[in-house]
Amino acid sequence: MISSSQLHADGAAVSYVVNGADYDGYYVSAGDNAPFVLLIHDWDGLTDYEVKRAHMLAEMGYSVFAADLFGAGIRPTEVKDKRQHTGELYKDRAKMRALMAGALAKAKSLGANIGNGVAAGYCFGGAAVLEMARNQSAADSFGLKGFATFHGGLQTPEGQSYANAKGRVLVLHGSADTAITMDQFAQLTNELEAADVDHEMISYGGAPHAFTVFGSERYRESADKKSWARFSQFLKEVL
C-alpha cells in the first residue's frame, strides 16, 4: 500500500479497500487545496489511458484520483470479460456508488480537496458519473460540483431520476456513436431539462463511440481536442 508521504507530483499507484475488497487506484496531486477531479475508467478498468488523462489534468492544476471500480489486478482485455465486470455493476448500482464513495474517501485521506471537485468518466465511467449525479441528495450523497461524461452511457435505470441532482452536468458525445444513440442523447436532454438540472449537451459530427481513445481506430482528433477544450473550460467554470 502506498502512503501519502510517498505521493509526489509525478503521481503514484494507490492501494485501498472498499467493503473488505482490494482496489488499485492512481493519485496525482497538484498541491495543497488544488481543485479536484475524480476520474472513472472505461470498461477496460484503470489503465495507462486514465493515468495519462490524470497527468494532463494535473498539468492544468488539478489533483486527480483515478478510481478502480473492478478490483485489484482486474483489467479485462476480452470483450466478454469487460461486459461481465461492467454488467455486474450495472445490476448492482448500490455497489457502484459505494465504490465511488470509497474512492473519494481515499482521495480525501491523501489530502485531496474533494469539497471542490468534479467527477469525469469515459464510456462505462461516464455512466457511473451520471449515477453519482442522480444521487447527490440521497444516502449516497457525494457533494461534488459537476459531472462530465465522454462518450458515456446515458440511459437512466428504472426507478431513478434526476429529481435530486445537484451540480452541473456536461455531456460530450459522438453523433456517429452506434452503441449510445442520439435517441438516448435526446432522452437525457429531456430528463435534465424536466428536472431543471444545469446542463450542457454537445455532440460531435462523425465521432463514433470511444472517440477520445488515443491510438485506436475510433480516435477522432478533432472531436477529442474540442471535447477536451470544453471540459477544461467547464472545470474552470465549476471549480
DSSP state of 192: H
> For residue 226, which of 210, 204, 209, 206 has the smallest C-alpha distance?
204
Take residue 38 and report the three cell numbers written for it: 475524480
Q: Where are the beta strands (DSSP E) in 97-206?
A: 117-122, 146-150, 168-174, 199-204
Angle at 106 between CA 49 and CA 35, to 5 degrees: 70
Give residue 137's pLDDT.
67
Distance of CA 47 to the CA centre of its chain: 14
What pairing do the DSSP bridges indicate for beta strands 146-150 and 168-174? parallel
Q: pLDDT tens, position by position, for the chain (239 residues)?
A: 333 333 445 789 999 999 999 999 999 999 989 999 999 999 999 999 999 999 999 999 999 999 999 999 999 999 999 999 999 999 999 999 999 999 999 999 999 999 999 999 999 999 999 999 999 866 666 889 999 999 999 999 999 999 989 899 999 999 999 999 999 999 999 999 999 999 999 999 999 999 999 999 999 999 999 999 999 999 999 99
Each domain of the chain, given as residue ranges in start order, spans 4-238
CATH of 4-238 given 3.40.50.1820, 3.30.565.10, 3.20.20.100, 3.30.70.3450? 3.40.50.1820
101-128 burial code (b ≥16 CB/10 A, e <16): bbbbebbeebbbbbebbbbbbbbbbbbb
Give residue 87's pLDDT.
92
